[in-house]
Amino acid sequence: MEKTFYITTPIYYVNDVPHIGHAYTTLACDVMARFKRARGYQVAFLTGTDEHGQKVEAAAKANGETPLELADRVVKRFQALWDKLNTSHTDFIRTTQERHKHTVQEQFKSIEAKGDIYLGEYEDWYCTPCETFWTETQMINGNCPDCSRATTKLKEESYFFRMSKYQDQLLAHIEANPDFIQPKSRRNEILSFVREGLRDLSISRTSFSWGIPVPGNEKHVIYVWFDALTNYISALGYPEDHNKLFATFWPAVHVIGKDILRFHTVYWPTFLMAAGLPLPRQIFAHGWWTVEGQKMSKSLRNVVEPHMLADTYGVDTIRYFLLREVPFGLDGDFSHSALIGRINSDLANDLGNLVSRSSAMLGKYFDGTLPQPGIAETIDDKFVSLFSETVTKSDALLDEMAFNKALIAIWELISAGNKYIDETAPWALAKDPEQQPRLATVMYNLVDSLRVIALLVTPFMPQTAEKILTLLGRDISSLHTEEFDFSVRLTPGTRIDKATPMFPRIETK
């Protein structure tokens, strides 16, 4: 049996333009997808856009366009951003696509046939000017949280999902599977939420029309979250599964932000239980980014545009920074000074220097041809054994999505490389003809360490890895596939050019 891995991002709302928060989720998934692929897995990586619902309808109206026109326009921005950031998703789903609508309606029918969907009445507080329903807890002093005006209690006919029926089954599943919800703090949060009791869930609306109609009762549109969550299986062609994608890839690992935890760990699993489908393998909720200490928002005009960041600092730099700066799962703060600090120290000083010093010395002492290594001394053995130790360590950390710890481990190898240069002092060895074999060993190990480092950073910084491996004369055509062989050391005799600076330092005033 082939090893398979299915990872998903949330599907992004089209009533907002992409910012670093969105880029963060997608990049984390991309690192996982690239990592698993390089370790022999067949990978499905899904992203897309969430295009239905009242918010999109309202945003379109305000812009004087149809919801689909708005979606068509904004979806391009997301797609252009993912192209720019070099993400390797294998599918992009839009909830307005026929394939998706079909699955949502089939899913609705199948749960209804089971008796877990019934018609009832939804009662909540309604703000007429905003045309929005609010729950008791959402309101502020009994008024609409958006416009502060008075609300009235209104009833709306609605279909309900018997979520309460699945409370015990869900609780048992979370308890029996400690990794189902990660990190642990989020798991605890959901455990206590479910223990308090689940109510049945309203899953249709009649107050607006931009959505997927309820099969057999077109007055109702299916609730956006029932619609949106189903994307994870509609993209696999469920239920027909003509291409056997569902059979091959389901269940998925869902990476999400902490704000949409409940939808993914309570609603979605209970929908799946009702439909008789296996639950997701894991739901990992990451934290939120603020910008220079403040919440990111359009009104504060502090939205950080990832496209522009990538143009200014480089794609791999942004990929590195976002995953290195903050432990995955915790909140973090974006600041230009932190970004520049990482560029100058981790990228220019540590990684960039190791590559340029090594290749420059090889040019100087061996005319750019990789020598045959001689007998190894303790210092060499110690350095070389760190190669495989780092791979093991970084792989284990990536399996837990501990991206920043994996990068720290990789950077320990980079530092060890720089230290190896300082301690073996190739410039001194080069002065003594008798030390030629010693110099050859040192230079060989050093340059071969670049190969290992490049392979380790591949999921994070694919273009940088390609540059380094190309410099080392490696064939990179299969670098991003399961066929790439990790363990083959460099061949003595290979010609290696002097590297051009990869990460120029950024001068700050």
Looking at beta carbons only, is 109 or 258 nearer to ligand MSP? 258
Looking at beta carbons only, is 50 or 448 nearer to ligand MSP? 50
Minimum CB separation of residue 95 from ligand MSP in Å reads: 9
Cβ atoms < 10 Å from Cβ of 488: 9
DSSP state of 109: H
Taking the alpha carbons at both ends of the chain, their separation in whole angstroms is 57
Q: Which residue is nearest to ligand MSP (CB)?
A: 257
Return the range that interacts with ligand MSP (CB under 6 A); candidates 189-197, 253-261, 394-402, 413-421: 253-261
Return the range that interacts with ligand MSP (CB under 6 A); candidates 133-141, 252-260, 429-437, 464-472: 252-260
The pair of structure tokens assigned to 477 is 């055509």
Return the range that interacts with ligand MSP (CB under 6 A); candidates 18-26, 81-89, 240-248, 446-454: 18-26
Phi, psi at 8, each rounded to 5°: -130, 150
In whole angstroms, what is the distance from residue 239 CA to residue 275 CA?
Answer: 11
By CB under 6 A, tell whether 296 contacts ligand MSP. yes
Return the range that interacts with ligand MSP (CB under 6 A); candidates 11-19, 179-187, 361-369, 474-482: 11-19
By CB under 6 A, tell whether 7 contacts ligand MSP. no
The SS3 assignment for 509 reads: coil
Choice from 91, 259, 292, 389 touching ligand MSP (CB under 6 A): 259
Taking CB under 6 A as the criterion, which residues in 190-229 touch ligand MSP? 228-229
Choice from 5, 6, 7, 11 touching ligand MSP (CB under 6 A): 11
List Cβ neighbours of 53 (8 Å cut-off, separation of 6 or more): 208, 210, 211, 224, 227
3-state SS of 322-374 is: HHHHCCECECEEECHHHHHHHHHHHHHHHHHHHHHHHHHHHHHHHCCECCCCC
By CB under 6 A, tell whether 21 contacts ligand MSP. yes
Choice from 17, 191, 260, 340 touching ligand MSP (CB under 6 A): 260
By CB under 6 A, tell whether 403 contacts ligand MSP. no
Minimum CB separation of residue 12 from ligand MSP in Å reads: 4
Question: What is the per-residue binding string for ligand MSP in 266-295, x denoting contact by CB under 6 A?
Answer: ----------------------xx------
Taking CB under 6 A as the criterion, which residues in 50-109 touch ligand MSP? 50
Looking at beta carbons only, is 303 or 376 nearer to ligand MSP? 303
The SS3 assignment for 384 reads: helix
User: Residue 251: is the preceding peptide bond cis (ω within 30°)?
Assistant: yes
List Cβ neighbours of 439 (8 Å cut-off, separation of 6 or more): 365, 371, 426, 429, 430
Determine how β-strand 217-222 pairs with β-strand 213-214.
Answer: antiparallel
Looking at beta carbons only, is 328 or 503 nearer to ligand MSP? 328
In whole angstroms, what is the distance from residue 178 CA to residue 34 CA?
Answer: 25
DSSP 144-158: -TTT--B-EEEEEEE
Looking at beta carbons only, is 84 or 364 nearer to ligand MSP? 84
The number of angstroms, rounded, from the C-alpha of 429 to the middle of its chain's C-alpha atoms is: 46
DSSP 64-103: TS-HHHHHHHHHHHHHHHHHHTT---SEEEETTSHHHHHH
Return the range that interacts with ligand MSP (CB under 6 A); candidates 127-135, 186-194, 256-264, 351-359: 256-264
Residues in the interface with ligand MSP (CB under 6 A) total 20
Which residues make up the interface to ligand MSP (CB under 6 A)? 10-13, 16, 21-22, 24-25, 50, 228-229, 231, 256-257, 259-260, 288-289, 296
